[in-house]
Structure 1
Amino acid sequence: MLAVVGCLTLALPAAVAEPSGTDWATAASIDDVTGRKIDELLAVRAGSGGQRKADLVELLSRQFLGTPYGANMLVGSATQPEQLVIDFRRVDCFTYLDYVAALSESADRAQFVRNLIRTRYVDGRVDFLQRRHFFTDWANTSPISARDVTAAVSPRAVTVTKDLNAKGDGGNYLPGLPVVQRGITYIPSGYVDEAVIGRLRNGDYVAAYADLPGLDVTHVGIFATTPSGPVFRNASSLTANNKVVDSPFRDYVRTVPGIVVLRTE
């Protein structure tokens, strides 16, 4: 996914470049801390009692609370070979969602690696040009990871046609990546009222709409209901946080132009 305001994606010493025909399920390099955490989370999933995927997303995302934030985690560009990064020691907002989504569908480490690749890359190919650089790619590229339910959540939703990756000054955010025209549907923050919040579900992927040319969103996280009220669970780069936190949902929404909502079943 695209590195955007407040949430850039990832770079890791334990990553490996892709040789032709690599079986990433067995070849992926995983550090000991990450390996132990993967096993712990897979055990949590196994003991969840057959919850639906969205509830697994909420459950597993909760286990990351307190994980340190790390910017610019992913490695690869149009001129640098893409690396498969698997690092639970630090996460940014996009890799956090990648990991949670892949874990929610996995029973063992090998399956997790395969599902992570399917989540992060179009058609499961570890390549910079195949990486899902934009949040809405999850609902618009193969394999589909979630449905865009923004318009169903609010009758006040607005659709804006954007040229993703095209800057307002004529340049590109990511050189070498094609410009893609896409309709982005969002709910203006002023219309995110109690009725809208009531239509959100545990495990919904929620993002802050970008009012900049060429971007769909600027930050992503997970909606969850807690004893303290609804929260925006996210890998926060704010100095006061610098880790995965639960931000009060209503407070967070007031700070952004609007929200985009994707849903898994």
Structure 2
Amino acid sequence: MAMQPTTSRRNLLRLAVGLPLLGLFRPAFAARAALIERLIAEAGPLPRVSQRMDYISGKLLGISYQANTLIGSPGSPEKFVVRDDAFDCVTYCEVVLAAALAHDMGEFETVLRKIRYDRGRVQYEQRNHYWAEWCQRNIANGVCRPIAIEPSVTYEKTLTWHGELGKRRVSIKAISKAAMMDNARLLEPGDIVGFTSGRAGLDYYHTGLVAFGRNGELLLRNASQRRRRVVEERMSEFAAINPVRYVTLLRPAEPSAPIAERH
């Protein structure tokens, strides 16, 4: 016996409203983001990139967490996404870094492409899907530099988390959680921290930005999936409740020339 359709007009409307939360019919948000534009202007007088990152990242506290904010797949075109209303852990770091390096929105979008994609090419295959590749490419293009803290470890890992990309072999250089905490004095606000993963086929499981409290305590600013928003928390507390063993630390490079012009 065939079942009778039971979906009412009200349920259809509810379904339609819920679709964006599932990642369907999302706008690309490639239009200018007013909040980002304002923060670029406000942070502009600060002389160092680290100071601008600290200012901008603090102003974005409380913004919603949302996974899968980027648009594109092996079977659909990649779209360049700029948005200031929701971040995942990677896009939060990318937006803060690009905004701190830019003088206006036009430069911001150019820099963000350079940070997010290999050679700035907006294609799914060129997106930095793995944080290890994100680090390697943004060191190579002069956007960031590694922070030298010893003792460090270097190991090889085969990445398979994004199966559609095939296997990727990467070299990961990291320091222990204890080494980071013991050398907090060597860190600066705006330094970028990636937390390595113990899972097979995955390089890192989370990333965020270094900050400091009024009493000098080491803090982490990050788009938190658990807390569903951008938050600031003590690094020691984050490390205590998450499987942190090793971290990779990068520092934004002070540009000697406009970052958008580098190759």
TM-score (ref. length: structure 1) = 0.79
> 2:233 — aligned with what?
247
Q: What is the aligned counterpart of 2:205 among 199, 218, 224? A: 218
Give the direction of change, closer, same or farther, for the CA distance of 1:120–1:222 in structure 2 (3 Å limit).
same
Pair 1:163 & 2:161 matched: no
Q: Report the Cα offset of residue 115 of structure 1.
A: 1.0
Cα deviation per residue 1:119-169 (whole Å; 9 max; x = unaligned)?
Answer: 1100110001100112232332252432232xx2231x22221112x2xxx
**Is the 8 Å Cα contact of residues 65 and 88 (structure 2) preserved in structure 1?**
yes
Q: Which residue of 2 aligns with 1:24?
A: none
SS at match of 2:221: strand
Determine the C-alpha separation between the residues in 2 that align with 1:12 and 1:163: 34
Structure 2 portions without partners, runs of 5+:
1-22, 254-263
CA contact (8 A) 1:222 1:232 kept: yes
SS of aligned partner of 1:76: strand
The reply on whether 1:109 has 2:105 as its aligned counterpart is yes
Q: CA deviation at 1:235?
A: 0.4
Residues paired across the two proteins, number: 226
Does the CA-based 8 Å contact 1:14-1:29 persist in structure 2?
Answer: no
Matches within 5 A, 1:2-13: 13=26
Aligned pair 1:15/2:28, yes or no?
yes
Contact 1:14 1:87 in 2 (8 A): no
SS at match of 1:219: strand
**Deviation of residue 191 (structure 1)?**
4.1
Larger radius of gyration: 2
Q: Extract structure 1 runs of 4+ deviating beyond 4 A.
A: none
1:39 aligned onto 2:34: no
> Aligned partners of 1:148, 1:12: CA distance in 2, in Å?
39
**Does residue 59 in structure 1 map to residue 47 in structure 2?**
no
Which digits, 9 at most, give the CA deviation of each residue in 1:189-211, with x for residues without a partner? Answer: 244443x2222222110111111
Match of 2:31 among 15, 29, 32: 29
Question: Structure 1: which 5+ runs fail to align?
Answer: 1-9, 17-27, 167-172
CA displacement at 1:13 relative to structure 2? 2.6
| Preserved contact between residue 44 and residue 52 of structure 2 (Cα < 8 Å) | no
Matched residue SS, 1:81: strand
Aligned-residue identity in percent: 29
Distance 1:42 1:193, change over 3 A: closer
In structure 2, what is the Cα distance between the partners aligned to 1:232 and 1:222? Answer: 6
TM-score where L is the length of structure 2: 0.79
The structure with the largest helix share of the pair is 2
**For residues 1-265 of structure 1, what are the structure 2 equivalents within 5 Å?**
13-15=26-28, 28-30=30-32, 35-48=33-46, 51-141=47-137, 143-149=141-147, 152-155=148-151, 157-164=152-159, 166=160, 173-194=161-182, 196-228=183-215, 229-238=217-226, 241-254=227-240, 255=242, 256-265=244-253
